[in-house]
Amino acid sequence: MIYKNQCWVLWILEKQEIANILDDIRVVLNKIVTLHNNVIHTNGVMTTQQYNSFKSYAFSLQSFYTQIQGYYEVYYSNVDLSDVTKLQLKSSFDDFNKKHYTMMSYVNNKLSDLNISNSDRSAFTKAYQEYKDSRYVLSSKLTICINEINSNGSQATLDELKKTFQTQIDSTKKTNDYIKQYCSIITK
């Protein structure tokens, strides 16, 4: 029972870690929006410093994306995940991936001239909203995966531990039997 509780705590911590990373993405997106709005209020002309801030935020997004991609790959390859859940996870990650690179492309390509045009504003608004929505969907799919893997894997893990413990108990019993026999021979 202790092991099952420890596994559950680890799953909770992992859920929290993923939630933190996805929240970090949200925070960076909000910083991008704030900076974007500040530039729009100056007729769309930005300074080199503002552009460098955009690039810094893009770097942060890429770092968080890489972490989420690592979790995705681990969960997608987990044998305790059903085919249906695996398909849903893949679909949501593929969408997140597409939206992530659309946002990255906006920051890396559209802003390089240090000017935000009206068409750039529309592209940004669309990219931002879609990225935010895909992040939310992926978050829920990752949570579903964690729960499914935990429920499917816990029993298998517990069964494997029971088997290991039983082997150790049997080995200990044999050792005790040998010790008893040896002691009885010595005392005779």
Position 154 scores a pLDDT of 55
User: Among residues 140, 145, 69, 147, which one has the least CA distance to residue 101?
Assistant: 69
Ramachandran assignment for 88, one of left (phi > 0), alpha (psi -120 to 50 degrees), beta (any other): alpha
Position 4 scores a pLDDT of 47
Helix H, strand E, coil C: the string for 43-86 is CCECCHHHHHHHHHHHHHHHHHHHHHHHHHHHHHCCCCCCHHHH
Structure tokens at 105: 């492309």
Q: pLDDT averaged over the chain?
A: 83
Task: Give every CB contact of residue 44 below 8 A, 6+ residues apart in sequence.
Answer: 115, 116, 117, 120, 121
d(CA 173, CA 167): 10
Residue numbers of the chain with a pLDDT score lower than 70: 1-11, 153-188
Position 110 scores a pLDDT of 83
Position 91 scores a pLDDT of 97
Task: Give every CB contact of residue 184 below 8 A, 6+ residues apart in sequence.
Answer: none
Rg (CA), the chain: 27
Tens of pLDDT along 88-119? 999 999 999 999 999 999 988 888 888 898 88
Structure tokens at 165: 């413990």
d(CA 63, CA 144): 24
Q: CA torsion sign, 38 to 43 to 47 to 52? A: positive
pTM for the full predicted model: 0.76
Strands annotated E in 4-163:
none
